Homo-oligomer: A and B are copies of this chain.
Amino acid sequence: MRVLGVDPGLTRCGVGVVEGVPGRPCTLVAYYVVYTDPGDELPLRLLHLDRSLTDLVAEHRPDAVAVERVFSQHNVRTVMGTAQASGIAVLAGARAGLPVQTYTPSEVKAAVTGSGQADKAQMTAMVTRLLRLPEPPRPADAADALALAICHVWRGGTRSKLAAAAERARRGGTR
Protein backbone atom coordinates (compact mmCIF):
# COMPACT_ATOMS: atom_id res chain seq x y z
CA MET A 1 0.00 0.00 0.00
CA ARG A 2 1.05 3.57 -0.65
CA VAL A 3 0.61 6.07 2.20
CA LEU A 4 0.96 9.84 2.26
CA GLY A 5 1.94 11.12 5.71
CA VAL A 6 1.48 14.72 6.83
CA ASP A 7 3.27 16.43 9.73
CA PRO A 8 0.96 19.44 9.90
CA GLY A 9 2.26 22.97 10.33
CA LEU A 10 1.20 26.34 9.00
CA THR A 11 4.70 27.68 8.28
CA ARG A 12 6.27 24.30 7.41
CA CYS A 13 4.13 21.27 6.61
CA GLY A 14 5.99 18.00 6.06
CA VAL A 15 4.70 15.49 3.52
CA GLY A 16 6.15 12.00 3.04
CA VAL A 17 5.04 9.25 0.67
CA VAL A 18 6.10 5.62 1.15
CA GLU A 19 5.06 2.22 -0.15
CA GLY A 20 5.14 -1.06 1.70
CA VAL A 21 3.36 -3.83 3.55
CA PRO A 22 3.14 -4.46 7.31
CA GLY A 23 6.31 -5.92 8.85
CA ARG A 24 8.58 -5.32 5.85
CA PRO A 25 10.79 -2.30 5.10
CA CYS A 26 8.97 0.46 3.24
CA THR A 27 10.19 2.17 0.08
CA LEU A 28 10.53 5.95 -0.22
CA VAL A 29 8.39 7.46 -2.97
CA ALA A 30 8.93 11.17 -2.29
CA TYR A 31 9.00 13.82 0.39
CA TYR A 32 8.29 17.53 0.49
CA VAL A 33 7.92 20.45 2.82
CA VAL A 34 5.14 22.91 1.99
CA TYR A 35 6.04 26.40 3.20
CA THR A 36 3.68 29.31 3.73
CA ASP A 37 4.85 32.86 4.44
CA PRO A 38 4.10 33.97 8.03
CA GLY A 39 3.81 37.50 6.62
CA ASP A 40 0.87 36.52 4.42
CA GLU A 41 -2.72 36.63 5.66
CA LEU A 42 -4.25 33.43 7.06
CA PRO A 43 -6.72 32.81 4.19
CA LEU A 44 -3.89 32.93 1.64
CA ARG A 45 -1.75 30.57 3.72
CA LEU A 46 -4.53 28.01 4.21
CA LEU A 47 -5.40 28.22 0.52
CA HIS A 48 -1.78 27.57 -0.49
CA LEU A 49 -1.55 24.63 1.91
CA ASP A 50 -4.86 23.18 0.68
CA ARG A 51 -3.83 23.43 -2.96
CA SER A 52 -0.38 21.97 -2.34
CA LEU A 53 -1.71 18.99 -0.37
CA THR A 54 -4.54 18.41 -2.84
CA ASP A 55 -2.01 18.45 -5.70
CA LEU A 56 0.34 16.02 -3.91
CA VAL A 57 -2.54 13.62 -3.18
CA ALA A 58 -3.59 13.78 -6.84
CA GLU A 59 -0.02 13.28 -8.03
CA HIS A 60 0.87 10.33 -5.80
CA ARG A 61 -2.56 8.64 -5.55
CA PRO A 62 -1.96 7.11 -2.12
CA ASP A 63 -4.24 4.40 -0.70
CA ALA A 64 -4.47 6.28 2.58
CA VAL A 65 -3.44 9.49 4.33
CA ALA A 66 -1.91 9.62 7.83
CA VAL A 67 -1.86 12.90 9.78
CA GLU A 68 -0.23 13.66 13.12
CA ARG A 69 -2.80 14.39 15.81
CA VAL A 70 -2.32 17.80 17.39
CA PHE A 71 -2.58 18.37 21.12
CA SER A 72 -3.26 21.60 22.91
CA GLN A 73 -0.29 20.99 25.22
CA HIS A 74 1.95 22.08 22.32
CA ASN A 75 3.50 25.53 22.00
CA VAL A 76 0.55 27.85 22.63
CA ARG A 77 1.79 30.47 20.18
CA THR A 78 1.70 28.10 17.21
CA VAL A 79 -0.85 25.47 18.21
CA MET A 80 -3.86 27.15 16.59
CA GLY A 81 -2.08 27.37 13.23
CA THR A 82 -0.96 23.75 13.56
CA ALA A 83 -4.51 22.66 14.36
CA GLN A 84 -5.85 24.57 11.34
CA ALA A 85 -3.17 23.02 9.12
CA SER A 86 -4.06 19.54 10.41
CA GLY A 87 -7.72 20.18 9.60
CA ILE A 88 -6.75 21.17 6.05
CA ALA A 89 -4.60 18.01 5.73
CA VAL A 90 -7.37 15.69 6.96
CA LEU A 91 -9.81 17.44 4.62
CA ALA A 92 -7.49 17.08 1.62
CA GLY A 93 -7.43 13.32 2.11
CA ALA A 94 -11.17 13.07 2.78
CA ARG A 95 -12.04 15.19 -0.27
CA ALA A 96 -10.05 12.73 -2.40
CA GLY A 97 -12.21 9.93 -0.99
CA LEU A 98 -9.27 8.38 0.89
CA PRO A 99 -9.24 6.85 4.37
CA VAL A 100 -7.52 9.29 6.73
CA GLN A 101 -6.05 8.17 10.03
CA THR A 102 -4.56 10.37 12.75
CA TYR A 103 -1.77 9.20 15.05
CA THR A 104 -0.31 10.72 18.20
CA PRO A 105 3.43 11.47 18.21
CA SER A 106 3.90 8.61 20.74
CA GLU A 107 2.16 6.12 18.48
CA VAL A 108 4.41 7.08 15.58
CA LYS A 109 7.55 6.91 17.73
CA ALA A 110 6.58 3.52 19.14
CA ALA A 111 5.80 2.13 15.68
CA VAL A 112 9.03 3.36 14.11
CA THR A 113 11.60 3.12 16.91
CA GLY A 114 9.96 0.73 19.37
CA SER A 115 9.84 3.48 22.01
CA GLY A 116 7.14 6.11 22.51
CA GLN A 117 9.77 8.36 24.11
CA ALA A 118 12.24 8.42 21.21
CA ASP A 119 13.75 11.84 20.53
CA LYS A 120 13.89 13.67 17.21
CA ALA A 121 17.42 12.45 16.38
CA GLN A 122 16.48 8.80 17.01
CA MET A 123 13.37 9.19 14.85
CA THR A 124 15.30 10.72 11.98
CA ALA A 125 17.99 8.02 12.23
CA MET A 126 15.39 5.23 12.18
CA VAL A 127 13.51 6.73 9.23
CA THR A 128 16.80 7.04 7.32
CA ARG A 129 17.67 3.42 8.10
CA LEU A 130 14.21 1.97 7.48
CA LEU A 131 13.97 3.62 4.07
CA ARG A 132 17.65 2.87 3.31
CA LEU A 133 18.32 6.52 2.44
CA PRO A 134 21.91 7.65 1.75
CA GLU A 135 21.43 10.56 4.17
CA PRO A 136 18.77 11.84 6.60
CA PRO A 137 15.82 13.64 4.98
CA ARG A 138 16.01 17.39 5.45
CA PRO A 139 14.34 19.35 6.90
CA ALA A 140 13.14 17.36 9.92
CA ASP A 141 9.45 18.00 9.14
CA ALA A 142 9.89 15.67 6.17
CA ALA A 143 11.34 12.92 8.40
CA ASP A 144 8.36 13.16 10.74
CA ALA A 145 5.95 12.92 7.80
CA LEU A 146 7.78 9.84 6.48
CA ALA A 147 7.61 8.28 9.98
CA LEU A 148 3.83 8.84 9.99
CA ALA A 149 3.49 7.14 6.62
CA ILE A 150 5.63 4.17 7.76
CA CYS A 151 3.58 3.96 10.98
CA HIS A 152 0.38 3.75 8.96
CA VAL A 153 1.73 1.08 6.62
CA TRP A 154 2.74 -1.02 9.62
CA ARG A 155 -0.27 -0.34 11.85
CA GLY A 156 -2.86 1.46 9.80
CA GLY A 157 -4.61 -1.21 7.82
CA THR A 158 -5.33 -3.26 10.92
CA ARG A 159 -6.36 -0.30 12.99
CA SER A 160 -8.72 1.01 10.33
CA LYS A 161 -10.42 -2.36 10.01
CA LEU A 162 -10.82 -2.61 13.79
CA ALA A 163 -12.12 0.95 13.93
CA ALA A 164 -14.57 0.25 11.12
CA ALA A 165 -15.81 -2.93 12.86
CA ALA A 166 -16.22 -1.05 16.15
CA GLU A 167 -18.09 1.70 14.31
CA ARG A 168 -20.44 -0.82 12.72
CA ALA A 169 -21.06 -2.48 16.09
CA ARG A 170 -21.66 0.88 17.77
CA ARG A 171 -24.18 1.96 15.17
CA GLY A 172 -25.94 -1.39 15.40
CA GLY A 173 -28.95 -1.77 13.10
CA THR A 174 -29.71 1.95 12.93
CA ARG A 175 -27.82 2.67 9.72
Contacts and interface: CB of A to CB of B under 8 A. Distances in A.
Contacts of A24: none
How many copies of the polypeptide does the oligomer hold? 2
A43 B88 contact: no
State the main secondary structure of chain A at its contact with B. Answer: helix
A94 B39 contact: no
Contact of A87 (B87, B93, B102): B87
A80 B80 CA distance: 8
A91 B88 CA distance: 8
Contact of A84 (B42, B86, B100): B86
Contact of A80 (B39, B41, B43, B71): B71
Most chain B Cβ neighbours within 10 Å, of A76, A87, A100: A87
